[in-house]
Amino acid sequence: MSHIHGLGLDLADQRLYVATHEGVYSPDAEGEPELVGNSKDDFMGGFTVSGARTFYASGHPTSGGNKGLIKSTDAGKTWKSLSLSGESDFHALDFARGTVYGYDSTNGLVRTTKDGVSWKEGARVEAVDIAVSPQEPDIVLATTADGVARSADGGSTFAKGEKPVMAFLSWAAKDALYGIDTSGGVHRSSDGGSTWKKAATVPGGQPQALTAVGAEHILAATQTGVYESKDGGNAFTKRLAVETSGAH
């Protein structure tokens, strides 16, 4: 298991799922990464848990091309294509209040869908990750080279990014927006990104993914593994190791 692109806990049983270049993995009884299902496709970015045993993802088939938006209702064992197959590669996906928000890297667009099939096109922005307010669906944030860019109209337009520069964002509760910077430092905002307070630095160097499961519970992936904090990012323990020879 090498480069990680997404993290999530199944709402049904709190089991950890890790989306990588070579499929989706979950820890086995010994805590070792075990492939979920038979797919070793590249889950290159977009991966989000939307409900019990229900995931959305994107990426590339082993045969090449783009997956568009795909969905699993059996905790990643099997996947169904919903839309944009062969067309779009979503490098970031978020789910909030019945809507899927995606950052389509093929054309740099923020797009939204309620049914997984019909899409509304939003702004064109150079971003790595997006995060949606869990209470206000019109508030969307994006990580850009200038800093965190904010949209107040559901992703249709974005203001210029403001420091600090974050690699990834995840918004679990109204007062619990998390960001991880390019060196692995975890920051928390209680006011939707207006101000930030740094917590700890995740071990392992450059970050690869960030998911806030709850207001104090976050998961972060770096080049050496998947780490978990249950105290708002002040302390981390390793949940899963990564073969660093395959990371990049």
Tell me the pLDDT band of 30, cut-offs 50, 70 and 90.
confident
Give the model confidence (pLDDT) of 31-86 as tens digits: 889 999 988 899 876 899 999 999 999 999 888 889 999 999 999 999 999 999 99
Those residues with Cβ within 8 angstroms of residue 38's Cβ, 6 or more apart along the chain or in another chain: none
Q: Can you give the pLDDT at residue 175?
A: 95
Those residues with Cβ within 8 angstroms of residue 141's Cβ, 6 or more apart along the chain or in another chain: 130, 131, 132, 148, 149, 150, 151, 169, 171, 177, 193
Report which residue type is found at 122: G
Q: Can you give the pLDDT at residue 245?
A: 46
Tell me the pLDDT band of 1, cut-offs 50, 70 and 90.
low
Tell me the pLDDT band of 114, cut-offs 50, 70 and 90.
very high
List, in sequence order, every residue forming a beta bridge with 197; answer none if it has no partner. Answer: 188
- Give the start-end residues of each E strand in 181-224: 185-189, 197-201, 207-212, 218-222
Tell me the pLDDT band of 2, cut-offs 50, 70 and 90.
low
Q: How far apart are CA 178 and CA 124, in angstroms?
A: 23
The DSSP 8-state label assigned to residue 86 in this structure reads T
Q: How far apart are CA 44 and CA 186, in angstroms?
A: 23
Those residues with Cβ within 8 angstroms of residue 63's Cβ, 6 or more apart along the chain or in another chain: none
Q: Counting every residue, how long is the chain?
A: 248
What six digits make up the tokens of 48? 């989000």
Strands in 130-132's sheet, in edge-to-edge order, are 130-132, 140-144, 147-151
Those residues with Cβ within 8 angstroms of residue 81's Cβ, 6 or more apart along the chain or in another chain: 67, 68, 69, 70
Give the model confidence (pLDDT) of 190-234 as tens digits: 999 999 999 999 999 899 999 999 999 999 999 999 999 999 999
Q: Can you give the pLDDT at residue 246?
A: 43
Q: Can you give the pLDDT at residue 5?
A: 87
Q: How far apart are CA 18 and CA 43, in angstroms?
A: 10
Q: How far apart are CA 241 and CA 248, in angstroms?
A: 15
